[in-house]
């Protein structure tokens, strides 16, 4: 009696005995489903072909118990033979269930926090740049785990995996915003199952904006010497709030549009220094540039976020806030600094009004102007910051104890005592009212003496006398010396009571130096009539002296005919040159006396005897005309 050949076909699923795995047998030409057994009277020699999956969907991996060299796992075949009388054999088809989500744990969060663990594409983890993700994983059914990331990071290679949770902080410095996908692929004999952790690295992105500078303007031109105020704002256009609100922001200027110089750095106002959330804008304290700080020219201004004022220009190293944006240009001058605000600075319209007297500048001249604020007392300047200057300035003809001679009306129009001038922004004009002082010559009357005066009556002279004119003077009563002392002074006479005057002699000073203001100088005396020119006519003769007047063909004094230009505030400078007239001198004929002499009362010859003791008697009669 021998044993019949016996064959048993079993299956495992994930290393545990199972049922429901099917296949076919070549000898019996039947299908089987584990657990399956066959006993027959003859030798068993069959090729078993296992189904690719079992009833639970597990995947075939290998055969156990097949004859030597009878296994072809790739084809899922197993050749087995059982001889008559031999012990029965058992073969096993092994299946492994494909890995699923529940087989693998892979999650992440920001390292150093107690944030909730997240996994999957839809559960992105937001982490600020400069920080790192922390990952943990677990997979009891995994043989191994492959780690990778996109973009590439230190999360790579093969990771050990088992039933215990393992944790790792990704040792990469993350300085750019964007999505990073971390992958862990759990591998077993039949499958690889990946799980993802998606991290969105976020960052602030600070930008700055500068308003149009505020200041005193004439049109669009800013006036130098006036304050200019800058006001800026900082916006966080990034994907994360700033870690704090204590960072500084600097105002800068440029005079060529390319080289920038720092002025003052400002943090936000006290009480407003919390973290600046993404999407929000916050105003900076204003910065005022004192009026004297800007000369005329072109000036550009800007404000730069997250910058100190330690040096000129822009440098990311001078910031304290890590920044990035999708273009990875957040930490650049173009991103953090505002567009330039360029202004033109020019001087305010300025009009300076001066006055001269005799060519030298003098103050105290009163000037009126048709535009408000343009009048004053010289020297003065009109600076108009709210518009242009357009005015007509007027002065008096007589002022400063001097005479107006004209305007030096540069850039304007002079008309008599008026100067009309306009001054625009950037212009500085100067006008001058010119005055001069002049001599003002006056004379005193001479004294008159006769060589043949009438005894007891000084107002009369005998005809044929010589009259001597003496003690006359000339005084400069003006405000300026005569330019010379060489000028003539005339003697004049009148015989009609001063209605008509005739010049008959002129004489120069003995001292011919200039006649200074306030000085008096004697006119040399003159004797007239020695030639018999003063006749016997019984006329009343009057005399005077006229300063700066020579004898000419025109009788009497001619205004302006002298060589000295004269003026006084009364306007009589050229008409007050002659002295008052002298008291009249009446010329009379010397008396001719007739005497009738008689001897003893007779006009004829008388013969008298020469008798001692006898005397003639003389008698006469005198007759006056």
Question: Does residue 536 carry a pLDDT above 60?
Answer: no
Give yes or no: residues 242 and 161 share one domain.
Answer: no
Q: What is the pLDDT of residue 617?
A: 80
Q: Which two tokens stand for residue 172?
A: 């990469």
* Sequence-ordered list of residues with C-beta below 8 angstroms from that of 592, at least 6 positions apart, any chain: 625
Give yes or no: residues 561 and 526 share one domain.
Answer: yes
Q: What is the pLDDT of residue 28?
A: 67
Give yes or no: residues 222 and 196 share one domain.
Answer: no
For the chain, the residue count is 625
Closest among 615, 622, 578, 612 to 599, alpha carbons compared: 615
Percent over 90 (pLDDT), the chain: 72
pLDDT digits (tens, 9 = 90+) for 51-71: 999 999 999 999 999 999 999
Domain CATH number, residue 564: 2.60.40
Q: What is the pLDDT of residue 531?
A: 55
Instruction: Note whether residue 32 is domain-resident.
Output: yes
Instruction: Note whether residue 612 is domain-resident.
Output: no
Instruction: Note whether residue 616 is domain-resident.
Output: no
Give yes or no: residues 132 and 158 share one domain.
Answer: yes
Instruction: Note whether residue 359 is domain-resident.
Output: yes
Instruction: Note whether residue 534 is domain-resident.
Output: yes
Give yes or no: residues 186 and 163 share one domain.
Answer: yes
Give yes or no: residues 580 and 449 share one domain.
Answer: yes
Of the residues 96, 112, 145, which one is the last residue of a structural domain?
96
Give yes or no: residues 106 and 90 share one domain.
Answer: no
Burial of 189 (0-12, 13-18, 19+ CB in 10 A): middle
How wide is the angle at C-alpha 419 spanned by C-alphas 415 and 425, nearest 5°? 140
Instruction: Note whether residue 583 is domain-resident.
Output: yes
pLDDT digits (tens, 9 = 90+) for 318-352: 999 999 999 998 989 999 999 999 999 999 999 99
pLDDT digits (tens, 9 = 90+) for 29-45: 678 999 999 998 889 99
Give yes or no: residues 395 and 449 share one domain.
Answer: no
Give yes or no: residues 80 and 116 share one domain.
Answer: no
Instruction: Note whether residue 503 is domain-resident.
Output: yes
pLDDT digits (tens, 9 = 90+) for 260-291: 999 999 999 999 999 999 999 999 999 999 87
Give yes or no: residues 412 and 275 share one domain.
Answer: no
Helix (H, G, I), strand (E, B) or coil at 103: helix
Q: What is the pLDDT of residue 431?
A: 98
* E-only strand ranges, 517-569: 520-522, 526-528, 540-546
Dihedral sign of CA atoms 311, 314, 316, 322 in order:
positive
Give the mean pLDDT of the chain.
91
Instruction: Note whether residue 90 is domain-resident.
Output: yes
Q: Which helix (H) or strand (E) holds 333?
A: helix 333-336
Would strands 467-470 and 447-450 be described as parallel, antiparallel, or unpaired? antiparallel
Give yes or no: residues 179 and 215 share one domain.
Answer: no
Give yes or no: residues 425 and 545 share one domain.
Answer: no
Domain that residue 251 falls in:
206-346
How far apart (Å, rounded) are the C-alpha atoms in residues 482 and 566? Answer: 9
Q: Which two tokens stand for residue 113?
A: 């926090």
* Sequence-ordered list of residues with C-beta below 8 angstroms from that of 186, at least 6 positions apart, any chain: 99, 103, 104, 139, 141, 142, 144, 145, 161, 192, 193, 194, 195
pLDDT digits (tens, 9 = 90+) for 223-241: 998 999 999 999 999 999 9
Domain CATH number, residue 306: 2.60.40.10
Of the residues 142, 172, 202, which one is the last residue of a structural domain?
202
Q: Which helix (H) or strand (E) holds 4?
A: none
Provide the number of structural domains found in the chain. Answer: 5
Of the residues 34, 61, 96, which one is the last residue of a structural domain?
96
């Amino acid at each position: 009696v021998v044993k019949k050949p016996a064959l048993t076909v079993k299956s495992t699923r994930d290393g545990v005995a199972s049922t429901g795995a099917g296949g076919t047998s070549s000898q019996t030409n039947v299908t089987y489903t584990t657990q399956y057994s066959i006993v027959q009277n003859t030798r068993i020699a069959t090729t078993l072909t296992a189904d690719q999956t079992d009833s639970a969907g597990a995947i075939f991996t290998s055969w156990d118990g097949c004859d030597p060299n009878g296994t072809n796992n790739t084809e899922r075949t197993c050749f087995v033979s059982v001889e008559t009388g031999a012990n029965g054999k058992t073969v096993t088809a092994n299946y492994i269930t494909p890995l699923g989500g529940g087989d693998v744990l892979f999650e992440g969060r920001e390292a150093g926090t107690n944030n909730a663990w997240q996994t999957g594409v839809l559960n992105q983890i937001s982490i600020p740049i400069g920080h790192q993700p922390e990952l943990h994983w677990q997979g009891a059914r995994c043989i191994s785990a492959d780690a990778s990331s996109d973009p590439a990071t230190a999360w790579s290679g093969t990771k050990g995996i088992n039933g215990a949770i393992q944790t790792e902080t990704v040792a990469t410095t993350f300085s750019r915003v964007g999505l990073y996908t971390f992958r862990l692929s759990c591998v077993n004999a039949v499958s690889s199952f990946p799980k993802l952790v998606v991290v969105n690295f976020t960052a602030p992105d600070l930008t700055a904006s500068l308003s149009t500078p505020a200041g005193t303007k004439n049109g669009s031109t800013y006036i130098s010497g006036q304050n200019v105020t800058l006001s800026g704002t900082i916006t966080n256009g990034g994907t994360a709030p700033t870690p704090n609100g204590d960072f500084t922001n600097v105002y800068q200027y440029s005079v060529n549009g390319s080289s920038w110089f720092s002025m003052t750095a400002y943090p936000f106002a006290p009480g407003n220094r919390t973290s600046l959330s993404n999407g929000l804008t916050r105003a900076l304290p204003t910065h005022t540039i004192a009026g004297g700080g800007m000369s005329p020219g072109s000036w550009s201004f800007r404000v730069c976020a997250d910058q100190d004022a330690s040096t000129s220009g822009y440098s990311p190293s001078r910031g304290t806030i890590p920044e990035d944006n999708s273009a990875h240009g957040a930490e650049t001058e173009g991103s953090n600094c505002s567009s330039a605000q360029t202004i033109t600075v020019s001087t305010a319209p300025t009009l300076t009004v001066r006055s001269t007297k005799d060519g030298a500048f003098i103050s105290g001249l009163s000037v009126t102007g048709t535009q408000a604020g343009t009048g004053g007392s010289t020297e003065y300047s009109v600076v108009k910051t709210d518009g242009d200057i357009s005015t007509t300035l007027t002065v008096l003809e007589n002022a400063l104890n001097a005479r107006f001679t004209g305007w030096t009306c540069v850039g304007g129009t002079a008309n008599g005592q008026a100067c009309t001038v306009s001054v625009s922004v950037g212009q500085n004009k100067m006008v001058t009212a010119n005055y001069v002082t002049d001599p003002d010559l006056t004379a005193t009357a001479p004294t008159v003496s006769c060589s043949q005066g009438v005894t007891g009556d000084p107002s009369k002279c005998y005809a044929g006398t010589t009259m001597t004119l003496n003690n006359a003077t000339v005084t400069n009563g003006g405000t300026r010396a005569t330019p010379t002392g060489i000028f003539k002074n005339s003697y004049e006479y009148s015989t009609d009571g001063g209605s008509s005057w005739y010049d008959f002699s002129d004489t120069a000073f003995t001292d011919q130096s200039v006649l200074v203001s306030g000085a008096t100088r004697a006119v040399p005396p003159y004797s007239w009539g020695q030639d018999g020119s003063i006749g016997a006519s019984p006329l009343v003769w009057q005399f005077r002296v006229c300063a700066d007047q020579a004898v000419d063909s025109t009788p009497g004094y001619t205004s302006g005919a002298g060589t000295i230009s004269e003026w006084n505030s009364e306007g009589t400078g050229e008409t007050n040159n002659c002295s008052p007239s002298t008291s009249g001198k009446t010329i009379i004929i010397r008396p001719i006396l007739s005497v009738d002499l008689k001897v003893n009362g007779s006009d004829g010859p008388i013969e008298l005897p020469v008798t001692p003791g006898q005397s003639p008697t003389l008698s006469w009669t005198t007759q006056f005309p």
